[in-house]
Chain A
Amino acid sequence: MGGPPKAGEDVIALDIAIVVLVGVCVLAAARMLIGPTDADRAVAADLFTFSVLGLIALVGVRSGSVATFDLLLIATLVGFLSGLSLARALTRGRR
């Protein structure tokens, strides 16, 4: 299919980076499953969130789309609220 000109279709580093980030997602999910405390699970969820952010950026470059920068801008604006919510949940709502 003739899409827009793809900037990253001959860039091998993008493929390597996507594979490594998926591996990091798997590691974070494993730590979420076997985490001894709830704090470990919260930290793993934080890393999982940011790995998915990096995957969005890399897949956007890989598919030649510049609209993913908008997605990333919104995700960075609201993404840290997930970490703050997990921190609040760790202390059972107390500050």
Chain B
Amino acid sequence: MTVWDVVGQVFILAGVVLFAVAGAGLFRFPDVYTRVSAVGTAAGLGIGLIVVGALALQPGLASGIKVLGIVIFQLSTSAVATSAIGRAAYLARSPINRVTFNELTATEPPDEGQDPEMRPGDGTGPAGRPNEG
């Protein structure tokens, strides 16, 4: 076992830990938007770390060029996809879990942490907000 094997295993395990945190975040986070943040981190950095670790276990010039392309494309495109899903969730009126409330105006926390203006609706945008850009 050379030093590259150790480096590769460390990178692969770091990426897999990111994926495990994202998988746990799918069940621990209360609403869609926090889940999107967890998945976006895992998708960009996790895949990058796993692929770099795979390169360290199988070194080579051709593989290195491909891995460089994979990391660049993954970091630049996965964030686009996950943020597009988050934006679409907001436009589809997915409920937001508000964890804070104003103690001066509210006598009790809102019902189940739901913002009353962001109820799950019929797929149209929030009220009073232009949908089509």
Contact = CB atoms under 8 A, between A and B. Distances in A.
Q: Which secondary structure dominates where chain B touches chain A?
A: helix
A3 B66 CA distance: 23
Contacts of B77: 76-77, 79-80
Contacts of B80: 80, 83-84
B23 A28 contact: yes
Contacts of A69: 51, 54-55, 62-63, 66-67, 70
A61 B54 contact: yes
Interface string A29-52: 011000001111011101100110
B19 A21 contact: yes
22 contacts: A17-B13, A20-B19, A24-B19, A27-B23, A27-B26, A37-B89, A42-B85, A43-B35, A50-B78, A54-B46, A54-B47, A54-B50, A57-B50, A61-B54, A69-B63, A72-B51, A73-B70, A80-B80, A88-B88, A90-B88, A90-B92, A95-B133
Interface string B9-39: 1001101100110111011000010011001
B62 A66 contact: yes
B81 A83 contact: yes
Nearest to B24: A27
A6 B41 CA distance: 31
Given A66-B60, A73-B70, A11 B88 contact: no
B87 interface: yes
**Range for the number of chain B residues in contact with chain A:** 35 or more
B84 A84 contact: yes
Given A73-B70, A94-B131, A37 B95 contact: yes
Given A47-B43, A54-B46, A69-B66, A39 B51 contact: no
A21 B84 contact: no
A50 B43 contact: yes
A83 B87 CA distance: 12
Contact of A70 (B23, B47, B66, B78): B66
Given A40-B32, A50-B43, A66 B63 contact: yes
Q: Which of A40, A69, A72, A92 has the most CB atoms of chain B within a 10 A radius of its CB?
A: A69
